Chain A
Amino acid sequence: MIELLNLEKSFDDIKAVNRVSLNILDGEVFGLVGTNGAGKSTILRIISGVIKPDAGIVLVDKRPVYDNPDVKRDIFYISDDQYFLPNATPEEMATFYENIYPGFDKLRFHKLCTGFGLDAKRRINTFSKGMKKQVSILLGICSGTKYLLCDETFDGLDPVVRQGVKSLFAGEMTDRGMTPVIASHNLRELEDICDHIGLLHQGGVILSEDIEDMKIKMQKVQCVFASEEDEKKALEGLNVLLHETRGRLHTITIRGEREEVEAAFSRGNPIFFEVLALSLEEIFISETEVVGYDIRKFVLG
């Protein structure tokens, strides 16, 4: 487990990370979401031991990470701007990592390269941006580390490759309990892969929750009432987060479990009633608006 407690980091006068506390549990896919400059990369760089926090604690499996090779052996960090040795080929990078990570599986790397259509003997500097990302991800997966930190890694991957990578992640998590931590500014990119989301803004954590928990605790309902009285009866006692009306059609986001919401609506006897699936985006819009943020401004673009 990765534990961050009251983490702080400033760059000159800018507070990049401001009292961040997060727990990343083993075996889950953790998504760090936030705008550029929200502190996602800084947190990943702190977790990977690249930079030292000004204050606070970072523990990976109860061990401090900074300048600690034993811990770093369990972490592979894929930065936003990947670096490869000058004029190196994927094969040479694999050879390099073979000496660095004891669990590196070169044979698997070659197989995966073939699978993803990457020429392991071609110089990486001739690869496209997406191909370079693929090489990084494959190197990270084959390093056999427990934690894989990905900074904007899915940005620039085509849908097929993204799906392939997701499958690989799933396989690694099942086979050896790998824990990916994925930072992105794009919620839609993380929706179908993350188990847990931490939302960062201006260096602080706005919220951190399991996506399933969020979905269970929040319902989106479309309905049509016969009268205003029926509407009042149905919504009485419910925690309504958002309420939009188009003609007689109501779209209401409510905090609460499905059974509780269905029971309440049955009191209002609606003409039409349907519980819809909530997207991650909608959950975040609802949650953050409640605490005073307009997430559309800083996450959805």
Chain B
Amino acid sequence: MTSANLSLGEKIKNHRTYINRTLWSSYIAFPFLAAYFILGVIMMVSRTINYAARYNQSEAVLYQEKLRAVSRILGVEQIGFVLIIGIAVMLALQGFSYVFTTSKLDFYLSQPTTKAQRIAGNYFNAISTFLIMYVGCEIIALIIAACMGAVGKYLLLSVLIETVRAFNLFFAFYNITVLAVMLSGTLPIAILLTGCFSFISILFAGELTLFKGIFFATYTSMQPFKVIFSPMYDRFGPYLYLMEEERASYALTTSQYINNVLVKLLPYEADMLVTGIIAFVFVIIFVRLRQAEWAGKGIVIRPFRWLVKIVVCVAAGLGVGYIVYLVYESVWSAKLFTQMCIIMVLATIITGCIAEVLLEGNIRKVFKGKAQTIMALAIVLLIFTIYRGDLLGYDSYVPAADKVESCAVINNARSFNLYNNVSYNGRILDEELMRVTNTEDFVKIAAAGMETRRLQKKNYDDNVFESLGYDLEILYRLKSGRKIYRYITVPYEVVDEELARIIDSEEFKRGYFDVLSDDIVRELDNPTLHNLTYESSGDSESTKNFSYNEFSDAYRKDILENYSFEYMSKHMPVGSVVYEGNSENYVYGNLDVFDNYSNTIAYLKKIGIYKESTLDVSSVREIKVDNYYPGYDTETMPYSDVDINVETSHASYTDPEQIKELLSVIIESGYYNPWFDYDLLNDQYSVQVYRTGEFSQYSSTYYSILKGKVPGFVKEDTN
């Protein structure tokens, strides 16, 4: 009997034997997948149950935690994607590695199939093997989760989304690896190429982003790191966001969670899918081009070999350029750019030589392929020139006001920090909370800020360190949907009117002060487990008998009514309020108080913790003054003429008359006010005030002396 009479069942059985013999790596992958999914769910859920029992968690909290536990294994936050990447690479290498060996090629290519049938067969075998393993383990894990009461509607949706993502990831990595196989003649080269395809776009995006930081004065790390055609980045990129989203109170119990996740993931998944499809198209092209006799060669297609060499040389050239910057970062100056360029050129040439030796496997070929090295060199120099000369106008780009939908100033100085029981450090402020629509004024400020920033950067490169204005990170939301971040230095006084209109607006304040969006703090506040402290002039007072809502209302009112650019530019805070919430979640807030915060001060007085900021002579035991540059007067001479290595001189005052005079010319310097004109202060001197009474002998408060008001006796005693 011949095989022409085989039944379908026998054919399937025979095919299974073939799969067993050709994709045996799936036997290695399967136990790992099963352990991750099945044991993972059992362990995570049982851990959650034990935790709930120990800490008397409510049923509702336990259910939420169970869902989170399952989601961390099966949902969009899972880390099992590392296994999926491994399986995809392994199956692709195993399925197509026959192209590296003549005997295997003879075996497979002499069989009665077409190239297309062979490729389709391999794809089918790999994808079906993966799906059977993945979905099988997933279903078993879900059944176990359901038995443990850890399944919900939105969790199932999350798992479904993750299954689609897993397939997308598998498809992308499988295609990338097959493409690498088709372009190489040996397994080691194929593995190297797979790594190269996975990381090259991240590497270039990283290098170019780092270069922005070196060359451009207005670059800010707020600008999102954008990488395209990198499934590796597409998977790792949103991971932190997903972990954060999973910790949200609404996670896995509302459709909002699913919506947020989908919105965030869609661009990444689309990029991954496109990458997978592009790789697949190239696979089809190179399968047609590939010839059996290429087995054993390094990189089989000459133009691609050139491309690999050029890409490697350029990546090395740029990378070494950044290393040069890192080495000299602390002493960086404009002159070092020339040295950086020379070293980049040398690195590119040397990499070209090494690449040639490795690709040819012959040290004598070290100077072969000069054309590709020269091309790489040209690209490296072009990139250096573009960045050094800012030929694309990065540092001068200011969008037209009518093209901007809204703007924001990023405030990284948060007032509140939230910690949950797993050390989650959350924040209230979000750049999306600020939508400044007065784009005309904003763009004028930005234009001046860009110019000043460039000047300040140039000064820094020339070792001239002087603050020329307010340093701000800004965001333009363009009508086209693009988001552009820049770091600017708004010059003092030049655009104060425009700045005042922006800062005094409610839309600015809503996005700048987290107390105006402190609903979560109000929600978490527990009247029996909270504390409010007011600190001023080295003194402080605390109470537990207060209402956070009332305090917050008063503070909010002051922000909206009394916070103005004009006032802030001339005054420093006089004290600060520290709020601590010690319920299940720990909340810490630190809010500065200005002298004109009448509502806040009134409330602090009402609850009995207000302290006057003005010191009288009787409350001060001693004042110490440090002069950092004795023999100089920085108010009348430029800093460049000052010997910064001169030894600091000290003076101490206990005479009431001298203390009185000093108290009249100093302001407390322990606070931060972004709009304060620090030019009003003389930073040559530092003042420490020691209080009388219950204060420690060593406890002091730091002050600064106002410019032009340094008492004569201080000048005499310290110079």
Contacts and interface: CB of A to CB of B under 8 A. Distances in A.
B107 A83 contact: yes
Contacts of B111: 72, 100
Given A96-B18, A102-B2, 14 more contacts: A51-B291, A77-B106, A77-B110, A79-B103, A82-B103, A83-B104, A85-B18, A86-B21, A96-B17, A99-B6, A99-B15, A101-B3, A103-B3, A105-B2
Contacts, number: 100
A81 B103 CA distance: 6
Nearest to A151: B106
Nearest to B113: A69
17 contacts: A45-B106, A48-B109, A49-B110, A50-B105, A50-B110, A50-B292, A67-B115, A69-B117, A77-B110, A79-B110, A81-B103, A83-B106, A92-B21, A95-B14, A99-B3, A99-B15, A105-B1
Interface in B1-56: 1-4, 6, 10-11, 14-15, 17-18, 21-22, 24
B14 A67 contact: no
Nearest to A72: B112
Contacts of A92: 17, 21
Interface in A58-113: 67-73, 75-77, 79, 81-83, 85-88, 92, 95-107
Contacts of B114: 67-69
A97 B113 CA distance: 13
A98 B14 contact: yes
Given A69-B112, A101-B112, A85 B21 contact: yes
B14 A83 contact: no
A96 to B, nearest CB: 6
Given A83-B101, A86-B24, A49 B109 contact: yes
Of A11, A50, A103, A144, most B-chain CB atoms within 10 Å: A50
B549 interface: no
B2 A88 contact: no
A162 interface: no
B4 A103 contact: yes
A258 interface: no
A52 interface: yes
A72 B293 CA distance: 19
Contacts of A50: 105-106, 109-110, 292
Size category of the A interface is 35 or more
B692 interface: no
B102 interface: yes
Contacts of A97: 3
Contacts of A95: 14, 17-18
B114 to A, nearest CB: 5
B2 A103 contact: yes
Contacts of A51: 109, 291-293
A49 B291 CA distance: 11
Contact of A86 (B6, B22, B292): B22
A85 B95 CA distance: 12
Contacts of B15: 99
Nearest to A88: B21
B112 A104 contact: no
A106 B3 CA distance: 8
Contacts of B102: 79, 81
Contacts of B17: 92, 95-96
B112 A73 contact: yes
Interface of B: 1-4, 6, 10-11, 14-15, 17-18, 21-22, 24, 101-107, 109-115, 117, 291-293
B109 A11 contact: no
B18 A11 contact: no
Interface in A96-152: 96-107, 144
B14 A72 contact: no
A98 B3 contact: yes
Q: Is the interface of B mostly helix, strand, loop or mixed?
A: helix
Contacts of A77: 106, 110
Contact of B14 (A68, A73, A99, A102): A99
Nearest to B24: A86
Contacts of B110: 45, 48-50, 72, 75-77, 79
A102 B3 CA distance: 5
A71 B111 CA distance: 10
A147 B292 CA distance: 22
Given A49-B109, A69-B113, A87 B21 contact: yes
A107 B1 contact: yes
A104 B102 CA distance: 24
Contacts of A88: 21
Interface in A186-209: none
A86 to B, nearest CB: 6
Interface string A159-195: 0000000000000000000000000000000000000
Nearest to B22: A85
A58 to B, nearest CB: 13
Contacts of A70: 112
Contacts of A82: 103, 107
A181 to B, nearest CB: 13
A98 B101 CA distance: 24
Contact of A96 (B1, B14, B117): B14
A176 B103 CA distance: 28
A97 B6 CA distance: 12
A47 to B, nearest CB: 9
A239 B22 CA distance: 61
Of B24, B106, B291, most A-chain CB atoms within 10 Å: B106
Contacts of A73: 112
A81 B104 CA distance: 9
Contacts of A52: 291
Nearest to A74: B112
Contacts of A104: 2-3
A103 B21 CA distance: 23
A105 B2 CA distance: 4
Nearest to B1: A107
A31 to B, nearest CB: 20
Nearest to A75: B110
Contacts of B2: 102-105, 144
A107 B5 CA distance: 13
Contacts of B105: 50
The 10 closest A-B pairs by CB, nearest first: A72-B112, A79-B106, A85-B21, A77-B110, A83-B107, A98-B3, A83-B103, A102-B4, A69-B112, A81-B103
Nearest to B102: A81
Nearest to A104: B3
A80 to B, nearest CB: 8
A74 to B, nearest CB: 8
Nearest to A48: B110
A92 to B, nearest CB: 6
A82 B101 CA distance: 11
A81 B102 CA distance: 8
A72 B11 CA distance: 20
A49 B15 CA distance: 23
A144 B4 CA distance: 11
A90 B292 CA distance: 26
A83 B108 CA distance: 9
A151 to B, nearest CB: 8
A98 B14 CA distance: 8
